[in-house]
Structure 1
């Protein structure tokens, strides 16, 4: 059964108003939260076989700070993931390599949070657990179909992690 880890980029900076949204870097909190999340994931999930990441600077910086967990997984940096809707994310993931048992998707709200909730087989439960899907939040879903058949309600939400989770908790699993 494929595993999908959905991650919203870490907290970004708004300090330089001259930057285009796509070019905004992480702020200090984002630079702390992302490696902390990598450490949490090391004890929670196997590393991904494939990473699909938005080309936005804050998403790329988040990915770099997850290196302890991601390791040497191949990375596909995709401009189409920036600002993608839930449906666009679903459609893009349908073309994931059939051999990828675990895909990490790094993107942006509102699409990334809506995508994780819509993919879950129990949407009411998912909405309660995902909330507003804060920055650097992770949703892990066991996908019940091959990637090419990915559709709404074909994933079982197994874990939600946020940077604000108390130490030693797993987001309600």
Structure 2
């Protein structure tokens, strides 16, 4: 739960996907074993810190949907509204910002893809994130950033306060 007058974003790149079938359409690629484990680890991390989303904005790709499913298994306190959006499939940072502005709940999780998500993540905090992997935004990387705004329509790059940057151990 976020304090009144605050909005929290949990910005997640999908977990590691499978390349076992080179003929499979990119949109349809599932998570591999490492991705499944990493997404469950992220879910445990979020739940252990009470960082549970009230709304989820998720790309329609299979790997992003599966990432949410594994995270959701650990999210036991809330049952968020989940919106699967074609606009988030390989979205640019600008598109991600516009989608976020449509969110309605105080704590939102957005699940997307590189390279747009890495650029979007870099734009949000007011101070640089000092993690050697942050610019790469590896699979299942998650930035948790707070904004002192009343409504998501007011969100602007460079005004967020970083709470956490998570990278799975797997």
Give the SS at the match of 2:75: helix
Partner residue of 2:141 out of 120, 124, 137 = 137
2:56–2:82 contact (8 Å) kept in structure 1: yes
Q: What's the offset of the Cα at 1:127?
A: 6.9
Q: In the comparison of the two structures, how many residue pairs are matched?
A: 162
Q: Helix, strand or coil: the match of 1:66?
A: helix
Contact 1:4-1:142 at 8 Å conserved across structures: yes
Moved more, 42-51 or 57-66: 42-51
Q: Is the 8 A contact 2:15 2:31 kept in 1?
A: yes
- CA separation in 2, counterparts of 1:125 and 1:32? 25
Question: Which residues in structure 2 correspond to 1:24-39 (within 5 Å)?
Answer: 24-39=29-44
Aligned: 1:155 with 2:154:
no
TM-score, normalised on structure 1?
Answer: 0.88
* Unaligned stretches of 5+ residues in structure 1: 166-173
CA contact (8 A) 1:137 1:160 kept: yes
Structure 2: give runs of 5+ residues left out of the alignment: 1-5
Q: What's the Cα RMSD here? A: 1.7
8 Å contact 1:117–1:127 — kept in the other structure? no
SS at match of 1:158: strand
Report deviation, 1:144: 2.3
> 2:58 touches 2:84 (CA, 8 Å); kept in 1?
yes
CA distance in 1: counterparts of 2:131 and 2:153, whole angstroms:
25
Give the corresponding residue for 2:83.
76
For the 8 Å contact 1:120–1:126, the answer to whether it is kept is no
Higher percent of residues as helix: 1
SS of 1:130 mapped into structure 2 = coil
**Residue 19 (structure 1) aligned with residue 24 (structure 2):** yes
Distance 1:157 1:128 in 2: 16
Q: Distance in 1 between matches of 2:25 and 2:146?
A: 36
> What is the aligned partner in structure 2 of residue 40 from structure 1?
45
- 1:61 equivalent to 2:66? Answer yes
Give TM-score, length-normalised by structure 2: 0.89
Residue equivalent to 2:129: 125
